[in-house]
């Protein structure tokens, strides 16, 4: 059963993103995403300049003059949203969590698709597939997509709209462990509902979608070993990587000795946040991780969107649409 808090959030997102789709995103969406093929429309008389390969020789023979086949683009698309709901997505230091930012982004994508008569589906994943909603049309279906991203894994304790204090949201979620050799992701088996396994999600996509889809992979990408599955999925589908991050993942406040717990492994580490050397090293490694991720995706021919959970989710999406439109015009 949905809590009042979740219902309130869904309504807020619906109102906010509904206006943004109507005012800004609808046109950008149409100009970027083309249909997956063409379908026959009619034959018409040949005119100079027509491609001779489009001549319908059967009709030409019957009519005694050349006719060409005319095709129209098959406009309808299928949009698949692959949303990471692992434990690290619950982290949020400024206003909202990464999960909430992901829900708003998913809403923008879903409402843009529905407004243009496209289908939208959803897969929620962590180290396993948690939920799959097949692609459908309609605003009611789009609202369900948003609701499921927000509601997954939330306890009924949120019934009264309570929120953990800032320090608990900051330090009890996920700060990746690191040392002199950079970020370290422990090799031991991780709890299935806390860990992230992107390859599993992409393999699932390949198994349930036989026709080409536009896939938005929304995650913080705290994972390893998914590159091969990513490349394979992008050969069949149009995969777009969407990174959701939080400002505290790049800049740590000076709070003295603090015990950090990695939400995806449960491991803890005491660090001295008052040390300038620690904070500089933390920031450098964080930036390097994101830069490496972007190079990895772009090197595989996959577009990349970076969304700051503390800021607007509209601007990165518009920037992506316009970049892609410029590229298509070349």
pTM for the full model?
A: 0.72
Domains defined along the chain, listed by start: 4-35+76-329 (3.40.50.410), 37-74 (no CATH)
The average confidence (pLDDT) of the chain is 78
Mean pLDDT, to the nearest integer, of 45-64?
Answer: 86
Mean pLDDT, to the nearest integer, of 107-119?
Answer: 84
Return the higher-pLDDT residue of 250 and 19: 250
Highest mean pLDDT among 97-111, 165-179, 233-247, 314-328: 233-247
pLDDT digits (tens, 9 = 90+) for 264-286: 777 888 888 888 998 899 899 99
Return the higher-pLDDT residue of 184 and 95: 95
| 44 strand-pairing partners | 68
Residue 320 to residue 315: CA distance in whole angstroms: 9
pLDDT digits (tens, 9 = 90+) for 245-266: 999 888 888 888 888 887 777 7
Residue 103 to residue 9: CA distance in whole angstroms: 10
pLDDT digits (tens, 9 = 90+) for 69-106: 876 555 578 999 999 998 888 888 877 889 888 888 88
pLDDT digits (tens, 9 = 90+) for 152-181: 655 433 433 444 443 334 334 333 433 333
Confidence label for 53 from pLDDT (cuts 50, 70 and 90): confident
Confidence label for 300 from pLDDT (cuts 50, 70 and 90): confident
pLDDT of residue 221: 93
């Amino acid at each position: 059963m949905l809590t009042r808090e979740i219902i309130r959030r869904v309504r807020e997102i619906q109102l906010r993103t509904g206006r943004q789709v109507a005012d800004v995103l609808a046109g950008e969406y149409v100009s970027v995403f083309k249909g997956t093929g063409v379908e026959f429309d009619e034959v018409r008389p040949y005119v100079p300049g027509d491609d001779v390969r489009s001549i319908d020789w059967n009709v030409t023979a019957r009519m005694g003059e050349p006719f060409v086949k005319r095709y129209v683009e098959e406009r309808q698309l299928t949009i698949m949203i692959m949303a990471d709901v692992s434990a690290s997505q619950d982290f949020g230091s400024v206003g909202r969590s990464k999960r909430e930012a992901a829900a708003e982004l998913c809403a923008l994508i879903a409402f843009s698709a529905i407004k243009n008569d496209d289908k939208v589906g959803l897969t929620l994943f962590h180290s396993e597939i948690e939920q799959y909603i097949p692609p459908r049309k309609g605003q009611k279906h789009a609202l369900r997509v948003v609701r499921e991203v927000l509601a997954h894994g939330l306890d009924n304790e949120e019934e009264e709209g309570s929120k953990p204090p800032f320090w608990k949201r900051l330090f009890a979620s996920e700060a990746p462990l690191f040392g002199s050799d950079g970020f370290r992701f422990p090799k031991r088996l991780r709890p299935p509902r806390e860990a992230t396994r992107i390859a599993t999600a992409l393999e699932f996509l390949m198994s349930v979608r036989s026709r080409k889809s536009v896939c938005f992979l929304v995650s913080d990408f705290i994972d390893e070993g998914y590159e091969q599955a990513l490349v394979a999925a992008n050969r069949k589908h149009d995969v777009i990587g969407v990174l959701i991050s939080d400002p505290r993942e790049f800049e740590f406040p000076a709070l003295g000795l603090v015990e950090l717990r990695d939400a995806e492994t449960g491991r803890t580490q005491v660090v001295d946040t008052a040390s300038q050397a620690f904070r500089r090293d933390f920031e450098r490694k964080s930036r390097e991780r994101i830069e490496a991720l972007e190079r990895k995706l772009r090197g595989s021919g996959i577009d990349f969107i970076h969304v700051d959970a503390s800021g607007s989710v509209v601007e990165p999406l518009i920037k992506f649409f316009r970049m892609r439109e410029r590229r298509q015009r070349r």
